[in-house]
Amino acid sequence: MEEAKKQTLKGRDQIAEEYKWDLSQLYESDESWEKEFNQIKGRVSEMEDYQGKLGESAETLLAGLNLSMELNRILEKLYSYAARKNDEDTTANKYQGMKARIQALYSNFASISSFMVPEIIQIPIDKLESYLAQKEELKLYKHYLDDIMRQRSHYLSPQEEKIIALAGEVTQGPSNIFGMINNADISFPTIKGEDGEEIEVSHGRYIDLLKDKNRHIRRDAFKAYYSSYQELENTLSMTLSSNVKKNIFYRKVRNYESSLEASLAGNKIPVEVYTNLIDTVSKHLDSMYSYIDLRQAALELDELHMYDLYTPIIKDVEMKVTYEESQNIILEALKPLGAEYLKVIKEAFENSWIDVYENKGKRSGAYSASCYDAHPYILMNYTDSIDNLFTLAHELGHAMHSYYSNQTQPYLYADYSIFVAEVASTVNEALLMQYLLRTTEDEEKRKYILNYHLEQFRGTVYRQTMFAEFEKSIHDSAEQGQALTPELLAKEYHNLNQKYYGQSIVVDDEIDIEWARIPHFYYNFYVYQYATGFSAAITLSQRILEEGQSAVDRYLTFLQGGSSDYPIELLKQAGVDMATPEPIEKALKVFEQLVEEMKELVLVTSNV
């Protein structure tokens, strides 16, 4: 089947132009790209003229910052074009080469300009303030400079900073080793399919196998998958332990109270944001327990096991949505955001912002990519499904965030942080979800939509918060001098699964090793942002629907903010304070209501 699919894929030239993105806003042709590439290649070394001189005068500091921004902006535009062309057909040698060349030039520029932050930190604060007073144009950089100076006490001498920088390649070791084990070296057993055929378990197939209607296949895939990690538990526990020690090393040399504080400091995120998330979700686990009970009853199982968490609790519902239908649905669903917002969405649909369909060699998946000097571009591999309807709405949310920030902010502050990145995309999805629930009369389709939304909550709020608590726990243990042995990791992970899913589920022994397969545990306190972003988006979407224009105005102000302020402050402007439990509580209240509605539809109407 897979081979047949490949043979029927269209070539790029067979896709109608109306379904392809138009990159001419970046460069008219490959030749115009080459011309600018050759010009900038000769200019990157101009940064060297400012090394050791940034603190000499207000004029020199301004000139150095301006040159850095100018070159970075051109390099970003060059990269955007090469990367988009490469993604159209990843087998095309020409665009592979263009992308590799601009990546190398970008890396060279980063290396040459790496002196800037350490030099700025060496400028006495009173001197820097006098520069800002002397030179009006420098005031553009005030927030940028304040952000550097805010972290001044956590930087060391230039010689010590050089040593820390040299250690970077070594301290990436645990993450790189895990990547090689997990992607290249590990192998999985085969299991028997429904017709007795051999199925090799793999990363790509695992979740699909857990969704299978046949419970024996789910169980066998679950046991087979984790048996491979159990065989490597000593190596993988040592790898994760080494990564935790790396984080502790950096927090010590940077003089932070904890690894958690050190990881959040870059975006000025209070530690309370992290701990509030864990504490608030922990106080509202009854709704998850209720959902687990609903799942067990709907599946008509005597015991619910961990391998029963992904299989649909409703019968298959065919909800085909063509690309043209998805455009109309999205425009209707996003009406609460106002005419101006919809006008830009229509522009995206009508003016070739989106590369819609799969073709031979095209990069898989979906994304939105922003470049300051062009509108955002969206890559899709659209198939006529409700999943792709939601994916399109999601990517349009990212695109709108980039569009508004680019339109409002100078280049320096146009990009936005990871902490807020998923907010705009999830607001779009939440408004789409509410629209579908309001307008879908077919009961089976309504069940399907509700189940989709409940699984979003389970995977993004509850599961990611469990990951966040595990990450904090193992760092705390290591800080207290405990060895992160396979036994300690397994016990902690087992207990957390029991805590988050409750007593109605059998926490199978195999799940105790799941920590060994999660790449995000090597990202240094990253996963909590999925849960906070989702919760903020649910709260914002509710307010947009309930309050109307005043909430919309605040939300659009947030979208225009880029990185002109810290992410917590930008979200406050939208009306959400992530330093308090309120947004998390509001999101969990929505989950509770969805569970109750699903119970009515699945249990009462079905007499289960």
When pLDDT is averaged across residues 236-255 and rounded to a whole number, the result is 96
Taking only the tens place, the pLDDT of each residue in 94-118 is 999 999 999 999 988 988 888 899 8
When pLDDT is averaged across residues 485-489 and rounded to a whole number, the result is 98
Please state the domain count of the chain. Answer: 1
Examine residue 285 and state whether it is found in any structural domain, yes or no.
Answer: no
From 211, 208, 243, 310, select the one nearest 516 (Cα to Cα). 243
**pLDDT band at residue 4, thresholds of 50, 70 and 90?**
very low
Q: Mention every residue, 6+ apart, whose C-beta is less than 8 A from residue 288.
A: 458, 462, 500, 501, 502, 591
Taking only the tens place, the pLDDT of each residue in 541-570 is 999 999 999 999 999 999 999 999 999 999
Residue 3, pLDDT score: 39
Residue 165, pLDDT score: 78
When pLDDT is averaged across residues 301-323 and rounded to a whole number, the result is 90
Examine residue 397 and state whether it is found in any structural domain, yes or no.
Answer: no
Alpha helices in 284-411 (DSSP H): 286-299, 323-333, 339-350, 386-408
Examine residue 486 and state whether it is found in any structural domain, yes or no.
Answer: no
Name the helix (H) or strand (E) containing 305: strand 304-305
- Is residue 569 among the annotated active site residues? no
From 580, 309, 588, select the one nearest 461 (Cα to Cα). 588
Examine residue 493 and state whether it is found in any structural domain, yes or no.
Answer: no
When pLDDT is averaged across residues 421-447 and rounded to a whole number, the result is 92
Residue 132, pLDDT score: 96
**pLDDT band at residue 1, thresholds of 50, 70 and 90?**
very low
Examine residue 40 and state whether it is found in any structural domain, yes or no.
Answer: yes
**pLDDT band at residue 604, thresholds of 50, 70 and 90?**
low
* pTM score over 0.85: yes
Given a cut of 60, is residue 162 above it in pLDDT?
A: yes
Domain of residue 30: give its range.
Answer: 24-155
**pLDDT band at residue 159, thresholds of 50, 70 and 90?**
confident
Examine residue 120 and state whether it is found in any structural domain, yes or no.
Answer: yes
**pLDDT band at residue 387, thresholds of 50, 70 and 90?**
confident
Q: How far apart are CA 381 and CA 364, in angstroms?
A: 7
**pLDDT band at residue 606, thresholds of 50, 70 and 90?**
low
Examine residue 366 and state whether it is found in any structural domain, yes or no.
Answer: no
Q: How far apart are CA 436 and CA 548, in angstroms?
A: 19
**pLDDT band at residue 607, thresholds of 50, 70 and 90?**
low
Given a cut of 80, is residue 315 above it in pLDDT?
A: no
Q: How far apart are CA 317 and CA 67, in angstroms?
A: 57
Examine residue 106 and state whether it is found in any structural domain, yes or no.
Answer: yes
Which of the residues 395, 471, 510, 514 is marked catalytic?
Answer: 395
Instruction: Identify the CATH number of the domain in which residue 127 sits.
Output: 1.20.140.70
Residue 166, pLDDT score: 78
Name the helix (H) or strand (E) containing 119: helix 116-122
Residue 528, pLDDT score: 95
Residue 332 burial (C-beta neighbours within 10 Å; 0-12, 13-18, 19+):
middle
When pLDDT is averaged across residues 74-85 and rounded to a whole number, the result is 97
Residue 204, pLDDT score: 82
Residue 6, pLDDT score: 39
